[in-house]
Each structure stands twice: as structure tokens, then as C-alpha cells.
Structure 1
């Protein structure tokens, strides 16, 4: 039950941080908040930053506390029991350092004004440490939990590359949205892992074997059961990814509808016509070759003149 609680708290915290990551979305598009003043928009941008650092600080403190608790309650009969919590504590310490550095550098009176690029670099290292933990965490080669951990590497990689892109382009919108999507996918997948590992929602003919709080594995009875359990894990991840895409498209459509059109929409043609205001005339006369042929035949072809006056400059 303690494992389910840990995974649930981590999943909900990642979802909360992803929502906080989306809060500056309106400030990145000034047209969404054109009626607000610059001072109010700057203060609102400081508020998401403060909420982001406080939420990541709370999550890292809880993770560090859980790792230390697992270390002190580790079993002396299991050689892996003390080492696994310490590896998780390393990643939690990096996230804690990132959160404290961000809080100390918050305006209007920063105690230690760290540049944003340095904070994003710390965050990149923290995500990299998290990636190494789940990439190397193979207590049992045949354990089904390894498939879940391998799939978790996908949103972690998305967070790493998007944060690196934020360092290169601090004011770019797509990498921040990609990082929010990676955080949200991590949150939902942590919830899925908690329910799949520690409840009856686990695959049929498979069960968990716990040696301690941090050392556990999921074994199945037959080779076919292992294949089915891995296939179920992949299907679950695809469902989570599809849900994230549907929710993201829905939120984007709602924002664009509230904005009142498509980003960078076209201007009406009549406005450009009215801006021209230049009247031009041109004449379409009969060709000289046609006149020569008409005179040779002994009859005179009337000259056709068409005067066109348009307002659009043609």
C-alpha cells in the first residue's frame, strides 16, 4: 500500500507541475491578454514561476523523505535494499537544488540572482539523473516492471530535449509546451504504474514479489503470460499517449476559439482594396495586324476601346 501511495503522490504532483507549466501560456501570446496592463502580466508571470518552484520543491522533498525512509527501513537480508533508495535520493537532490535556486532568484528582490539558463541546465541534469535511474533499474531481468520503466523513459527524454531547447531559445513556445506534455505523461504513467503494480489491476497470472519497500519485482507463471503482460503495458502506454493528444488538441481548440480565430489569420480582402485607393486605366485596342488585314480586305474594323477603372490598383 505504501508503494501505491508513493506512485500516486508522484503522479499527481507531476500533473500539477505540468498544469503550472501551462500557466504562462497566455502571457506568451499577448493577444490573449491584450486588455491587461504590462505590470499585471509581469506579476502573473512571476506567480507561475513561484508556483512551479514551490511545487517541485515539495515533490523533491517528499521523494527525498521517502528514499531516506526506505533506506532506514531496508532489510538486512536483501543486498539491494539499501542501494536503491539512495539512487532515487540523488535525482531528488538535483530537483531540490533546482527548486531552491529558482526560489532564491525570484524577483522583485532575488537573494541569489541565478540566470534562467543555469536553472534550466540544472533541470536538464535532474531529468538526466531520473532517466539513468529508470534505465538502469533492473532488479530482475524478466520482471514486468522493467517494461513499465522502459516506457517511462519516453516522456523523460521529451522533458530533457525540450529543456535543452529552452536553454537555446528561452522565449520559444513549443519547447515549453513539449515539456508540459512530458510532465503530464509522466504523471499519468506514474499513476498507471502504481495501480498496475500494487492493486488487482495487474496482468492476469502475474503477481508482485516484494523484498522491501524499494526492492520488488513482478513475475508471471508462464512465458505466454510474460508476453501478454508486456503487450498490456504497451497498450496502456499508447492509451495514455492518445489521451494526452486528445486533451492537448481540445485545449488548443478552446484557446483558439476564445482568441477568436486562427493564429496569424488572414486579413479581409476588402481592407487591402480600400488601402490601395489608386485608380488605374488601361485600354484594350485591336492589334495593328488586325487593322492591316481589315484595310487589305477593303473594310474598316472599328477600334474597340475598353476603359476599366478599379480601386484595387489593377
Structure 2
């Protein structure tokens, strides 16, 4: 993972996953604002488990790159069978990928078992996701790579995004109907991917290295070193500024995306409701339609409300399956 591609590729995967979840959660909430319930993953119409399969494929590629393709000799061990110091980070990164593979695999297994309560399925799947983020946070926090230099500052800020992913995933177990929890979780996954891509370009592109710093080869992988404490302090400050700018851009994007989606899908539900009412009016006639409306009003008084929320709910499920 300690290369440009090693950060950009998984970063893009997290970014795409976060964007996919953000789109589906916003769409689901726009169609069902009063009866919204979050989902741990979203199926597609052509292949139900596309999301999980892609996670498993990406995780398998990452494990292969870390343990068998990237290391010299295409194997991560010394001749005596021990793990060399310069391959410790490979095992740490592969353990993260293994945990996400386990999450995706068991989410499929849980979904295919019919005699488990749907709420229990969703909660267990969320718990598996939380374990994956907890593993990621643990290994990045106690990373064998440099914690003091510029790369360490990038990893420190990355951990803040992972903490939000972990906390919101755990909150999603107990509060599945709170849209803001799912919205924040999706956004934090997206932001984590964005920051990984930024790390890849900023740490392994010589033209983007801060003044007074340089790329140096240590223990088989390249790291950024600075010639003085002043240069290091400046480089870390630039990392903090970059993190802040990225956060501002993601915030603007998220709120704008929400407003556009609510406007589009909210009008879609209103149009469907109005169209149904006009059809009823056309078939029954004006006088009969008024009588039907009065009966609906009476049924509400007797505790049987006929709202359009149920119609919106069914429509939301159909849209997500597309």
C-alpha cells in the first residue's frame, strides 16, 4: 500500500462505495421521509450481490498485492519463515482487506438465510462492518510505518475519518430510522476514500512534495523526509490545510447533492400522487370523487389513515432495485 497506486486504488474503492451508499440513502429518504429505514447495503436489479462481490474482489486484489505480488520474490517471508521488518506494513494492510472480505462474504450468507429475523440480519451486517472499521482504525493507529513525519500526519487525519465511519456504523444498529446517521456514515466512507487518493498523489509525486522535503528510500519503501524541523512543521501545516479544504469541498458537495436529490425524487412522489388522484377523479366524476375524498377523511377520524406514504415506500424499493 506504500505507493501511489497502493493508496489511490483502495481510495477510489472507498470513494465509490461511499458515493453509492450516499445516493441510495438520500434517494430512499426523499421517497420515504416519514418511514425511512436504512439498509447496510443495496442490491442492484441485475445482480443482487454486486456490492459485496466487488468488495470481495477488491479485497482479494489488495491481499494479493500486499503479500504475493508487491514483495520481492513474490512472497512476504524471509528464508527462515519469519516476517521481515520491511514487510510488517504489508501484513497490516492485508489484515484490513481480509476483514472487509469477511464482512462482504457474511453479509451475503446472512441475506440468503431465510429463517433469521430481518432486523437481526441488518444488525449483524452492521456489526460486521463496524468490526472492519475497528480493525482498520486499530492497525492504522498502531501502524509500523513512520508516525512522526509527513506520512504520519496524513495517517493521523485519516484516522479521524475512520472514527466517524466506526461510530456511525455502530449507531446505525440502534438507530436505523435516523437518516442523518446513514448520511454521515456514507459521507465519511466517501471522504476516507478521497483522503486516501490525496495521500497517494501528495506523498509519491515528486513535484507535489513540500519545500525542504524529499522522497527517501527506507526499508524497501519510499517515505517523505524533511531537511529541517521548520520544513517538517510547514509540511504538516500544509497537510492540515489540505484536509480542511477537502472537508469543505465534500461538505458543499454533500449538501448540494442532497438538495438536488430531494427536489428531484420529492417531485417524483408528488407527481405520482397527483396523477393517481386525477385518475380517480376522471373515472368517478367530480361529484363521486368528492364523496370518495369525504370518506377518506372520515376513515382518518376512525383511526385508519390512507396516506400516500405507503405508495412512496413501494416506489422507493422499486427504484433501488433498478
Q: Same fold (TM over 0.5)?
A: yes
Matched ranges for 1:57-68 at <5 A: 57-68=56-67
Matched, 1:47 2:44: yes
Deviation at 1:95, TM superposition (A): 0.6
Which is bigger in relative contact order (C-alpha 8 A, separation at least 6)? 2
The separation in 2 between residues aligned to 1:110 and 1:7, in whole angstroms, is 40
TM-score relative to the length of structure 1: 0.71
8 Å Cα contact 2:15-2:189 kept in structure 1: yes
Shift of 1:110: 9.5
Q: Is the 8 A contact 1:139 1:217 kept in 2?
A: no
The alpha-carbon distance between structure 1 residues 110 and 246, as it changes in their structure 2 partners (threshold 3 A), is farther
Pairing partner for 1:152 from 127, 151, 158: 158
Q: Return the match for 2:101 from 96, 105, 108.
A: 96
Q: Is 1:232 aligned with 2:238?
A: yes
Q: 1:241 aligns with which of 243, 247, 250?
A: 247
Return the alpha-carbon distance in structure 1 between the equivalents of residues 115 and 106 of structure 2.
10
Cα distance in 2 for partners of 1:110, 1:28 equals 28
Contact kept? 1:11, 1:186, Cα under 8 Å: yes
Contact 2:92 2:143 in 1 (8 A): no
Question: Cα deviation per residue 1:214-242 (whole Å; 9 max; x = unaligned)?
Answer: x4432101111001100000011001100
Give me the TM-score of the superposition, normalised by structure 2.
0.69
Does residue 204 of the first structure (1) align with residue 211 of the second (2)? yes
The residue correspondences of 1:1-314 to structure 2 (distance < 5 A) are: 3-25=3-25, 26-31=27-32, 46-47=43-44, 50-69=49-68, 70-71=70-71, 72=74, 79-106=84-111, 115-137=121-143, 139-199=145-205, 200-211=207-218, 215-258=221-264, 259-260=266-267
Given that residues 21 and 186 in structure 2 are in contact (C-alpha distance below 8 angstroms), is that contact kept between their aligned partners in structure 1? Answer: yes
Q: Gaps spanning 5+ residues in structure 2: where?
A: 34-38, 269-293, 295-322
Whichever of the two has the greater Rg, that structure is 1
Give the Cα–Cα distance (whole angstroms) in 2 for the partners of residues 50 and 14 of structure 1.
17
> Corresponding residue for 1:300?
none
Q: Distance in 1 between matches of 2:43 and 2:146?
A: 45
Whether the 8 Å CA contact 1:21–1:52 is kept in 2: the answer is no
Distance 2:52 2:13 in 1: 12
SS of residue paired to 2:225 = strand
* Aligned length in residues: 251
Q: Distance in 1 between matches of 2:260 and 2:104?
A: 32
- Does the 8 A contact of 1:142 with 1:219 survive in 2? no
Greater shift, 135-144 or 71-80, is seen at: 71-80
Q: Is the 8 A contact 1:46 1:107 kept in 2?
A: no
Q: CA RMSD in A?
A: 3.3
Mapped to 1, the partners of 2:150 and 2:101 lie a distance apart of 30
CA gap 1:128/1:31 in 2 versus in 1, 3 angstroms? closer
The answer as to whether partners of 1:144 and 1:219 remain within 8 angstroms in 2 is yes
* C-alpha deviation, 1:52, in angstroms: 2.7
Which structure shows the bigger proportion of residues in helix conformation?
Answer: 2
